[in-house]
């Protein structure tokens, strides 16, 4: 590569401008049309790649760049979406994503969060290179915290999820375009993550699509927030779940959720049709996900791996759940985690924004970091009755409206969370793990009485317990959305050739 004589210095790092091989090919490749999508490779990567700074690299390819900046081909890719970094003491970490956080210390200091996995129990606090311009040296910052994102004990026998934090030199600085993880400030990196996020929350978070003129009044006026949902990484490869997925999405939309964020491994072709449909509508955003080394990504074996190695699988859940809430915390303040067989039931509220408004006004402690909704099961082996029995077969939740009369207690593993993203930063399926003030647990969440709201869980068989006299009851709250949801589900399934 040819070197330019000019040098710049930032944080003591000198930057030699060089012509890196392959730059012209980068531009040509990024501009190549993907015919079956009718978009360019650049647009396709922008839509679905979780960590590649596409625009930053595209612009960089037009000029000489700092010799410390890795190229696409020098990034150490693993399992499609993961980037390998070797830290101090030969510690290996696989990086998945990076985010701008306007509040890393509960006092309003800004920084960058890097999400990854490692077999090392205590990854070292090395250095971040913060990239603003490809032609200038990066700003550098030492990692100030390494948060362990799991409720299982640390074990070198599995890949453990970690959230690494680097402060910005000044909170007044804009988010960088990209970040690299290195053992010393002025080394050439082998990883380059796109930084996702913004200094201010976007209009999608607010009821009317715009923040109030006086932002201070926002904390006294609680009816302005639109909630969103972070779902799981879909792995329905051997099962066609398209009917139930469509109904779930339409019921969430009917309840007032602004958007649903899903992750995708390998799924049934019919599920792909539904995901594409809702992506085009703008109601769903899909992020592709592959498990990191050394885990299996062959779709016919992955389900077996998930069941045989459940502790390893649960740790991976914490990666994509945390990725989801951090990736979208600048778009929505309140983000729930629900699976596609779970739906909110709100006996005393018309929709979810009204429920949220009520509980923000009446919450017990201002320091709570969110709410938890306990489960009630709507069992697969209870035949639909009454009005429910007359509904079409493609409406699973609307047909299964029978459950036990007794309310289930809210106990660990039997509830799902709604996070306040002003405070939560690392999560698992049932609650927070890391907040702006440090480690936090589900005990910092407020439990909701089932008389106000609970989560309908549409799975399992009830067996003998439901056969007892007067043991069950009809709970048809979601029938208030029956007609518009039934119409929409039928339209979507028909349009996509699934009905």
324-378 pLDDT tens trace? 999 999 999 999 999 999 999 999 999 999 999 888 887 766 789 999 999 999 9
Measure the CA angle with vertex 411, ends 481 and 372; round to 5°.
45
Q: How far apart are CA 112 and CA 114, in angstroms?
A: 7
Cα–Cα distance for residue pair 123/86, rounded to 1 Å:
10
Contact 374, 410 (CB under 8 A): yes
Average pLDDT of 372-389?
A: 92
Bridge pairing between strands 431-435 and 424-428: antiparallel
DSSP assignment of 217-272, as one string? GGGT--TTB--EEEEEEE--SSS--HHHHHHHHHHHHHTT---EEEEESS--HHHH
Which tens digits make up the pLDDT trace of 193-204? 999 999 999 999
In 158-185, which positions are buried (b, 16+ CB within 10 angstroms) versus exposed (e)? bbbbbbbbbbbeeeeeebbbbbbbbbeb
* 454-457/370-377 β-pairing: parallel
Q: Taking 60 as the threshold, does the pLDDT of residue 317 lie above it?
A: yes
Handedness of CA 334, 335, 336, 341 (dihedral sign): positive
DSSP string, 90-124: G-EEEEEEEEEES-SSSSS--EEEEEEEESSSS--
Task: Give me the helix-helix angle, 41-48 and 23-30, nearest 10°.
Answer: 80
Neighbouring residues of 494: CB distance < 8 A, sequence distance ≥ 6 = none
* Residue in this structure with the two tokens 């900046």, named with its chain if needed: 69
Considering 52-66, 174-188, 296-310, the range whose residues carry the highest mean pLDDT is 174-188
User: Which residues of the chain does CATH 3.90.550 include?
Assistant: 204-495
Residue matched to tokens 């649903």: 260
Mean pLDDT of 270-299: 95
Distance CA 237, CA 267 (A): 4
> In this predicted model, what pLDDT tens digit does every residue of 202-261 receive, in sequence order?
999 998 787 766 555 544 455 689 999 999 999 888 899 999 999 999 999 999 999 999
Lowest mean pLDDT among 15-24, 47-56, 339-348: 15-24
Burial call 436-454: b when 16+ CB within 10 Å, e when fewer:
beeebebebbeebebeebb
Cis status, amide bond into 294, omega within 30 of 0? yes
**For the chain, percent of residues with pLDDT exceeding 70:** 96
Return the ∠ at Cα 395 (arms to 391 and 400), rounded to 5°: 80
pLDDT for 300 beyond 90: no
Fold of 204-495: Spore Coat Polysaccharide Biosynthesis Protein SpsA; Chain A (3.90.550)
Residue pair 306/313 in contact by the 8 Å Cβ criterion = yes
Q: How far apart are CA 104 and CA 110, in angstroms?
A: 6
- pLDDT higher than threshold 70 for residue 155: yes
pLDDT at 460: 84
């Amino acid at each position: 590569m040819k070197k330019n004589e000019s040098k710049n210095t930032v944080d003591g790092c000198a930057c030699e401008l060089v012509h890196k091989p392959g730059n012209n090919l980068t531009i040509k490749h990024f501009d190549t049309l993907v015919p079956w999508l009718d978009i360019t490779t650049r647009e396709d990567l922008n839509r679905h790649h979780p960590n590649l700074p596409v625009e930053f690299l595209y612009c960089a390819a037009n000029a000489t760049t700092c010799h410390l900046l890795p190229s696409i081909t020098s990034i150490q890719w693993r399992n499609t979406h993961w980037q390998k970094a070797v830290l101090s003491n030969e510690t290996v970490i696989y990086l998945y994503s990076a985010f701008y956080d306007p509040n890393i210390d509960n006092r309003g200091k800004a920084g960058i969060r890097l999400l990854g996995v490692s077999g090392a129990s205590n990854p070292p606090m090395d250095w971040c290179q913060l990239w603003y311009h490809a032609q200038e040296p990066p700003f550098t910052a030492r990692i100030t915290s390494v948060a362990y994102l799991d409720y299982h004990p640390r074990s070198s026998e599995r890949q453990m999820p970690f959230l690494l934090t680097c402060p910005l030199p000044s909170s007044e600085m804009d988010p960088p375009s990209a970040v690299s993880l290195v053992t010393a400030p002025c080394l050439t990196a082998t990883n380059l993550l796109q930084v996702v996020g913004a200094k201010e929350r976007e209009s999608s978070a607010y009821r009317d699509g715009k923040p109030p003129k006086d932002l201070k009044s926002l904390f006294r006026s609680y009816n302005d927030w639109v909630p969103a949902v972070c779902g799981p990484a879909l792995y329905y490869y051997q099962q066609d779940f398209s009917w139930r997925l469509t109904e779930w999405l339409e019921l969430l939309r009917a309840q007032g959720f602004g958007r649903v964020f899903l992750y995708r491994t390998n799924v049934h072709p019919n599920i792909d049709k539904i995901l594409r449909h809702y992506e085009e509508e703008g109601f769903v955003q899909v992020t592709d996900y592959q498990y990191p080394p050394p885990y299996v990504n062959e779709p016919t074996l992955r389900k077996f791996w998930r069941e045989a190695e459940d502790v390893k699988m649960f740790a991976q859940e914490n990666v994509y759940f945390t990725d989801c809430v951090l990736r979208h915390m600048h778009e929505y303040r309140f983000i729930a985690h629900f699976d596609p067989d779970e739906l909110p039931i709100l006996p005393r509220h018309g929709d979810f924004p009204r429920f949220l408004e009520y509980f923000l006004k009446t919450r017990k402690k201002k320091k709570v970091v969110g709410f938890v909704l306990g489960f009630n099961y709507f069992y697969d082996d209870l035949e639909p009755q009454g009005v429910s029995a007359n509904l079409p077969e493609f409406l699973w939740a609307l047909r299964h409206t029978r459950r036990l009369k007794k309310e289930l207690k809210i106990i660990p593993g039997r509830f799902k969370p709604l996070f306040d993203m002003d405070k939560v930063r690392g999560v698992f399926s049932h609650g927070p793990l890391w907040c702006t003030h440090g480690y936090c647990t589900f005990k910092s969440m407020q439990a909701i009485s089932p008389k106000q709201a609970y989560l309908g869980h549409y799975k399992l068989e009830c067996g003998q317990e439901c056969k007892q006299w007067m043991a069950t009851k009809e709970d048809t709250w979601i029938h208030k959305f029956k007609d518009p949801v039934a119409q929409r589900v039928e339209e979507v399934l028909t349009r996509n050739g699934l009905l």
